[in-house]
Chains A and B, each alone.
Chain A
Amino acid sequence: MNSKILYDIRDYKIIRCQPEPKGSAGLPSIEALFKSARIPEGEKQHYNTITVDREYLTNQAQKELRIVGSGEIKAINKPNISLNINKVDKYNFEIIINITNTIESDNFDKVIVDIEGIDIPIAITNNQGTQSINLAESGEYTIRVDDNRFMNDVSVKVVV
């Protein structure tokens, strides 16, 4: 079943996504999407639509897809991120980030990792990054990445 996405042509942000309803109604029109998203008349020239061949509601499309392309516009899956923790010794660890399912034009230079409310930036080169950390206090730490550039959120618990 197909879905129609309404996106902003200025920043490629996905605004609305509606799947094709069951029956013979067909995909929603652009006007129907404008109405659903409450786009004012004077703003409509900043938006366009694209069709994808799966069923998505807006939240899922915004979480999983991105609009790319300069000539031919496409909606594709966002890249995936993985977070691994390598234990060096009792207090020292290595955070290892890997980004997959990228396209040629992607150029990720940094990913922010959250450790118990502290933001740690990790430099990324060729879709990989590593950061050594020292956890001086005993306890349980949750290390996570929640970044809407990626399809998935990741979280790892470390016990010192």
Chain B
Amino acid sequence: MSKLQAMQQEDGSIKLIKSNQKVTEENAKLAQKLDYITKEEMIEAIKKIADKVGVEVSFTYDNLKNDI
């Protein structure tokens, strides 16, 4: 499938934009990246709260993430 798709405009011109497949692929990559960032942020937030409450927490994620 092409990375582009064509759309007929009212003025008779043809507009070429990213195809739905291309947009989906880009969004999937962004979502993966976002998922990774969100995990990091959540763990940081939980650590701060645990620190304030005086509770020790550790995450398997912290131990394994450097293996990625």
Instruction: List the interface of chain A (C-beta within 8 A of B).
Output: 92, 115-118, 120, 131-137, 141
Contacts and interface: CB of A to CB of B under 8 A. Distances in A.
B12 interface: yes
A141 to B, nearest CB: 8
23 contacts: A116-B3, A116-B16, A117-B2, A117-B4, A118-B4, A118-B5, A120-B14, A131-B13, A131-B14, A132-B11, A132-B14, A133-B14, A133-B15, A133-B16, A134-B9, A134-B14, A134-B15, A136-B15, A136-B17, A136-B18, A137-B4, A137-B16, A141-B16
Interface residues of B, number: 14
Contacts of A137: 4, 16-18
A120 B4 CA distance: 12
Nearest to A135: B16
B37 interface: no
Interface of B: 2-6, 9, 11-18
Contacts, number: 43
* Majority SS at the chain B contact face: strand
Nearest to B15: A134
Contacts of A116: 2-4, 16
Nearest to A115: B16
B36 to A, nearest CB: 26
Nearest to B3: A116
A133 B13 CA distance: 5
A150 to B, nearest CB: 22
A116 B15 CA distance: 13
Nearest to A116: B4
B51 to A, nearest CB: 46
B26 to A, nearest CB: 11
B16 A118 contact: yes
Contacts of A135: 16
A115 B17 CA distance: 12
A135 B11 CA distance: 15
